[in-house]
Structure 1
C-alpha cells in the first residue's frame, strides 16, 4: 500500500527506570481506554501533533501524563503496527518511538484534563508480571534488556 493510501499516527514515549532501596521501578501512565478499550499501564508519551517535532511532542506528552519535564536522550526502540480506523474509514499505520530521557524538573502528577491518562506511578519492575499493560511497555523493556 502506498503512503498516500493510509493515515499515519506518530507517537513518542519515554522509558524512565530508576532504583529505590535496591528495587528497580519504571514510570508508567494509566491509560483509561478512552471508552473503547480496557485500561492498561503504558509508557508516558503519546501522539505527536501535526505542527510539532517528535521530540517536542514527546516532551509535551510526558509532562501532560506524568508531571515531569524531561530532556530526551537516545532512541531505544521504534515499533509500528497497522489497523483499521475507528474514527475514519480506512487503514492506518501507527509509528511509535521510545526514547531514553532524564527528568529535569516537575513533580509526579498528571496535568492533562479529560485526557486519556488518569494518573502516573512508579511501578516496581518485579511487580509488572500479570499487570495489564500496553505492548509498548514490553517493546521498551526488551530494547533496554538488549542494550545491557
Structure 2
C-alpha cells in the first residue's frame, strides 16, 4: 500500500479560518495542506504549503493532531498544525495548479460550505471557538 505523509496549516485570525478552494469540479474548501518533500520536516512542509497555496508566510505554533486515513489506494498521514501569520499577502502561487480561491471563512461560513475533507469540520469549528 503506498503511503503519503503531509502537513496542514490551521490559521485563525479575527474569528476566521484561512481556507483554500480546489480546482476540481466540485470546488471544495480545505485547510491549506500538501505532501512532505525529501529532506523536509513536517513543520517546514506546513510553512511551504501555506505559502505556496495562499501567499502567506507563517510560523508553526504547535501540532494539533495527526489524521490517518485511506484515500483510494493510499494510506495518508496528515499532521495538522496551528500556525500564525508573520508576513506575505493573499496570492495563489500553487505550482501544482490545484488552488482556485483563497478566503478567510467565519464559523457561520464553515457550517455552510462543502469541505474536501468533511471530517476536518469539527477541528476547524473547535479552533474558531477558542
CA distance in 2, matches of 1:84, 1:112: 24
Deviation (angstroms), 1:41: 0.5
Runs of 4+ in 1 over 4 A off after TM superposition: none
Is residue 42 of structure 2 the alignment partner of residue 59 of structure 1?
no
Equivalent in 20, 25, 28 of residue 19 of structure 2: 28
| Residue 100 (structure 1) aligns with | 82
Bigger Rg, which one: 1
> Does the CA contact (< 8 Å) of 1:74 and 1:101 recur in 2?
yes
TM-score by length of 2: 0.86
5+ residue gaps, structure 2? none
| Residue 35 (structure 2) aligns with | 47
How many residues end up aligned between the 2 structures? 129
| Residue 88 (structure 1) aligns with | none
> Does the CA contact (< 8 Å) of 1:12 and 1:57 recur in 2?
yes
Is residue 102 of structure 2 the alignment partner of residue 141 of structure 1?
no
| Residue 76 (structure 1) aligns with | 64
5+ residue gaps, structure 1? 1-5, 86-91
What is the CA deviation profile of residues 90-128 of structure 1, one whole-angstrom value per residue up to 9, with x for unaligned ones? xx2110111011111100111124521122111122122
Specify the SS of the correspondent of 2:111.
coil
> Does the CA contact (< 8 Å) of 1:76 and 1:143 recur in 2?
no
Cα gap change, 1:109/1:145 in structure 2, threshold over 3 Å: closer, same or farther?
closer
TM-score by length of 1: 0.77
